[in-house]
A and B are shown apart, each in its own frame.
Chain A
Amino acid sequence: MSDQPLIQVEHLAMAFGTRKLFTDLSFTLKQGDFFCLLGANGTGKTTIIKLLLQQLHPTAGTISFNERLKSAADIGYVPQFRNLSGDYPLSIKNFISLKLCNSFTPWLSQREKQAVTKALQQTGLTAKQNQRLGTSSGGEKQRAYLAQAILNQPQLLILDEPTASLDQDAKYEVLETVQHLNQVSGMTIIFISHDWPLVKKFGQHFLELRAGSYISGSTTELQLKKEDENV
């Protein structure tokens, strides 16, 4: 089973009314991959994610999921925007625990506490767990969002432009954490980004959506293709 792809997308098409976003899109997401989804605004990156999360239904084509993705808890998702102000009161640890909401007791069980502790360790936030999220740096905030997304130790982690508003150091801080989750914890990653250098450094495979078409391959090819374009 481990050799089977995590997700197999075949001849996928999506249109909203008369506007076709993409047609005949096929790709395979292998287990353990660090897969980067690229493309200009409006080409359909977020739509693909919504299709994978089964929040939308495709106009045509199929998406096959490996048995490892049998429940929603097997997919962790970090959305692009979060509206948390500087005076947000909760600590990083308490923010992460918010996701544990399928219980009637107001306090966390031992098992839930262990899940939070593990997520804090995996994202390198153990020492900062009692710090207020509102006053944390951009990189720390993104790592806290990551920690919340991986509380259930998902098979697949989807990140929607997590580095968009960060400075260079913070971008590397976040991506190194994601790389650690990919390599040490074995999570498969889908990383949506506009940042080509980050994709080249951390990604393994890519799919770039263009108006009406797409290209895909390994990120080393992406590097060659971009260099060719610059010649």
Chain B
Amino acid sequence: MFNFAFMRYAFAAGTAVAILCGVIGVFVVARRLPFMTHTLSEIGFSGAAFGAWIGWTPLQGMMVFTVLSALAADQLGISEQSSNHASDSVISAVSAFFMGLGVLFLSLSSQNASYATSILFGSIVGITQQNVWQILTIAIIVLGILALIYRKLKFDSFDSTGAETEHVSRHWMTLTFLIMVALSVSVAAQIVGALLIFVLLTLPSSAAQPFCRSVGGLIGLSIVLALIGTWGGLYLGYLTNWPVTFFIATIETVFYLLSLAYRKLNESA
């Protein structure tokens, strides 16, 4: 399997993305931002389509659109942890508009349907060596920033009231985190596609919740589950020629359902 360069690239990129999403996902879930994250990925689709129109790579287009959207969301105050119907409606409208915009850009760029499919559902085996380096660089930058603000981000994400009381600044923290999420979404979409961002950014960290009692534990297990899904998906995709994204999504969903069952069993015990 590793005799093929495209499989080596796919494993390298998949590993970097799984580790990045495993870590960031823990904070996305703690800050109750999965829906917001999904919206960012749909905006990312529109960015990739825009890139196709003006000659950028999908990753460049996605990064520009998602980072700008993260800044806008911060300004509009829809990134707060307390979700409500009003902010959900705003997010739904933004999401719908950008998906429509994405279709327009694709039409203007006269790309074929398979290009749209690869943006929406991922194309890990089409990853090039240059893509691998880009993904690795972004993953290292995001994880480096996280290492610098780890304790403060942990406090703000897992006890926002306490962090506010202790004057652990929340605005720059929220803004920095949203940019980190935007970058993570952009690279994760290269693997699982813009429509299935939940697969790596939310499911592994949600599945880890009932088994861990520390942030370090949650991050560790979330990375392991994301890696098993990504490696398992690549291997099964290689064996069967079926889409890798299907296998990754299935494996992560099974992990999540098992975790739900464990939680229910514990509650009834």
Are A148 and B162 closer than 8 Å at their CB atoms? yes
Q: Which B residues between 148 and 192 are near A, CB-CB below 8 angstroms?
A: 148, 150-152, 154-155, 158-163, 165-168
Are A106 and B160 closer than 8 Å at their CB atoms? no
Which residues of chain B are within 8 angstroms of A106 by Cβ–Cβ distance? 147, 150-151, 216
Are A90 and B214 closer than 8 Å at their CB atoms? yes
Tally B residues with Cβ within 8 Å of A. Answer: 28
Hey, what's the 0/1 contact readout for B211-242 against A, CB within 8 Å counting as 1?
A: 01111101000000000000000000000000
Known A-B contacts A77-B165, A101-B168; the reply to A90 vs B213 at CB < 8 A is yes
Are B148 and A98 closer than 8 Å at their CB atoms? no
A229 at the interface (CB under 8 A from B): no
Q: Which A residues between 59 and 99 are near B, CB-CB below 8 angstroms?
A: 72, 77, 79, 81-84, 87, 89-91, 94-95, 98-99
B209 at the interface (CB under 8 A from A): yes
- The CA of A81 and the CA of B162, in the complex, are separated in Å by 10
B82 at the interface (CB under 8 A from A): yes
- The CA of A110 and the CA of B263, in the complex, are separated in Å by 34
Are B165 and A89 closer than 8 Å at their CB atoms? no
- The CA of A81 and the CA of B159, in the complex, are separated in Å by 11
Which residues of chain A are within 8 angstroms of B216 by Cβ–Cβ distance? 106-107
Q: Taking CB as reference atom, which chain A residue is nearest B167?
A: A72
Q: Taking CB as reference atom, which chain A residue is nearest B161?
A: A82
Are B165 and A130 closer than 8 Å at their CB atoms? no
A142 smallest CB distance to B (angstroms):
13
* Contact with B214, one of A82, A91, A103 (Cβ below 8 angstroms): A91
Q: Taking CB as reference atom, which chain A residue is nearest B208?
A: A89
Are A104 and B151 closer than 8 Å at their CB atoms? yes
Are B155 and A101 closer than 8 Å at their CB atoms? yes
Chain A residues proximal to chain B, CB less than 8 Å: 72, 77, 79, 81-84, 87, 89-91, 94-95, 98-104, 106-107, 130, 132, 145, 148
Can you give 22 A-B contacts (C-beta < 8 A)? A79-B162, A79-B165, A81-B161, A82-B159, A83-B82, A83-B161, A84-B159, A89-B212, A90-B213, A91-B213, A91-B214, A98-B162, A100-B151, A101-B152, A102-B151, A104-B147, A104-B151, A106-B151, A106-B216, A107-B216, A130-B213, A132-B213
